Copies of this chain bind each other. A is one copy, B any other.
């Protein structure tokens, strides 16, 4: 068990946001394996309130890219997961959003485990209604959560921009009882 743990902790600790990609195809099987990680996320009452638009086509990418100042990242990523909550499947706003966070994290870990890079783009929520329009998803049924841009890592560029990732120390956020 110990080695399995170290792998997981290493995987979790070594994951970071990747914003520089080289243009290289990612095969369908890899994309499905990543989505499979999301699929197994837990949710309250097992309601699984997720919906994902998987965007590879350049024209659609461009349309989404126009909705955020991080559009350059979206266009340079081979695939973008545009993630919505399926409101009718949910049952409790807070619990549903927590489930969506678990879903997103499983996908980010899946990408990282595949040796690929991803970044969670939240700023696009400023234009979430327009993103619904692109996919013709009714606003009362689907709400944008984020875009996850995924691609093959441009190691040279990432190396240049490398900076220490910072996290609060454990003792800063726990109390013992």
Which chain B residues lie closer than 8 Å to A53 at the CB level? 174-175, 177
A4 to B89, CA, bound (A): 33
Asked if A17 is at the interface (CB within 8 A of a chain B CB), the reply is yes
A13 to B39, CA, bound (A): 9
Please tell me if the beta carbons of A98 and B95 are within 8 angstroms of each other in the complex: no
Please tell me if the beta carbons of A55 and B177 are within 8 angstroms of each other in the complex: yes
Which chain B residues lie closer than 8 Å to A103 at the CB level? 101
Interface of chain A: mostly helix, strand, loop or mixed: helix
Please tell me if the beta carbons of A8 and B109 are within 8 angstroms of each other in the complex: yes
| Distance of A4 from chain B, by nearest CB (Å) | 5
Please tell me if the beta carbons of B122 and A12 are within 8 angstroms of each other in the complex: no
Task: Give the A interface residue count (CB, 8 A).
Answer: 67
Asked if A130 is at the interface (CB within 8 A of a chain B CB), the reply is no
Asked if A11 is at the interface (CB within 8 A of a chain B CB), the reply is yes
Which chain B residues lie closer than 8 Å to A108 at the CB level? 42, 102
Stretch at the interface among A43-51, A65-73, A154-162: A43-51
- 16 more A-B residue pairs beyond the given contacts A42-B120, A98-B98, with a C-beta to C-beta distance below 8 A: A1-B114, A5-B114, A7-B113, A8-B109, A9-B37, A12-B106, A35-B170, A40-B167, A42-B108, A51-B175, A53-B177, A54-B175, A86-B173, A95-B125, A97-B98, A101-B101
